[in-house]
Amino acid sequence: MQTLNIIGAGRLGKTLGRLWQQENLFRVQSIYNRSYDSALAAVEFIGAGQASDTIESMAAADYWLISCSDGEIAMIAERLADKLSEREGVIAFHCSGALSSEVLEVLRPASIASAHPVHSFAEPLRSLDSLAGSSVALEGDNLAVSALENAFTAIGCEILTIEARHKSLYHAGSVIACNYLTALVDLSLRSFAAAGIERDNALKLLQPIVLQTAQNNMTLGPERSLTGPIARGDLETVATQVESLASVDPELAFHYRQLGLACVELARRGQLSDESAASLIELLSEPMR
């Protein structure tokens, strides 16, 4: 069985390590985190491997997963360069969505790649059951991409191959749909709070409509899924909401208007008339008082 070392076994690294270990695809060997206690916790979660207190003390391995923060990847690669040059046929990859495999150039002659699972690793125990079906964006050397395609397919993931030069745009799309959705829910909760609705009740209220909206978008596409006052061209309702939000929290009003402008452009691809669109744009573009 081929061996796998993990540098930066956080939520993503722990999840992948445990799934691959369970599938007997890799034998997890050495784990290095900035904190030795954190590395020990990762070993316990994965159920295999040994914690290392330095990168230099990690055992040799066939695969090296670098799943630390984006800003640390180049530095980690520099520290690994001499170690990986001692063994042939090594595959090294990172899981950054924004960076391409080129950040690992210093690790050659190892075969390098980037592999970004389009998944929210908020809670590793949940991700163990929910990662299957998620897409993984792969790019890099042919050998590494082919090997990682097999590794991720074995745990139920779908594969998407992209060009290195498109990584930033690709990742921005993921951020907007995932991270910004979370920010939208928080803005919504702040608006409900201003209306005197408790957080738990607001979340209960939001759950069915948010999940249904997400499903509609995946099934019908954004153009056919947009509903509400902007889609209807209801200028009076939009004006009242902007005024109400501005009176309690100008920041909420600002975000409402900026997102509203995006909704107008989307609604124009549906049934919103040019006249209604122009009126809404004028209203939503007015400077805040």
Backbone angles phi, psi at 2, to 5 degrees: -75, 150
pTM of the shown model: 0.82
123 pLDDT above the threshold of 90: yes
Q: Which strands, in side-by-side order, build the sheet including 91-94?
A: 50-51, 26-32, 2-7, 63-66, 91-94, 111-117, 135-140, 158-161
Spatial separation of the C-alpha atoms in residues 101 and 5, rounded to whole Å: 18
Confirm if 229 and 241 have CB atoms less than 8 A apart: yes
Would you say residue 45 has pLDDT above 80?
yes
Question: What is residue 287's predicted lDDT score, i.e. its pLDDT?
Answer: 63
pLDDT band at 286 (very low <50, low <70, confident <90, very high): confident
Mean pLDDT over residues 226-233, rounded? 95
Domains along the sequence of the chain with CATH? 2-162 (3.40.50.720), 169-285 (1.10.1040.20)
Query: pLDDT value at position 88?
Result: 87
Q: Quote the pLDDT of residue 86.
A: 77
- pLDDT average, residue stretch 43-65: 97
Q: Is the pLDDT of residue 289 over 60?
A: no
| Whether pLDDT at 288 is above 60 | no
pLDDT band at residue 15, thresholds of 50, 70 and 90? Answer: very high
Q: For position 196, what pLDDT does the model report?
A: 96
221: tokens are 């596409």
Number of C-alpha atoms within 13 angstroms, CB side, residue 75? 7
Amino acid symbol at 82: D
pLDDT for 146-187, tens place per residue? 999 999 999 999 999 999 999 989 999 999 999 999 999 999
Query: What value does the mean pLDDT take over residues 14-26?
Result: 97
What average pLDDT does range 128-139 have in this prediction? 96
User: What's the chain's average pLDDT?
Assistant: 95
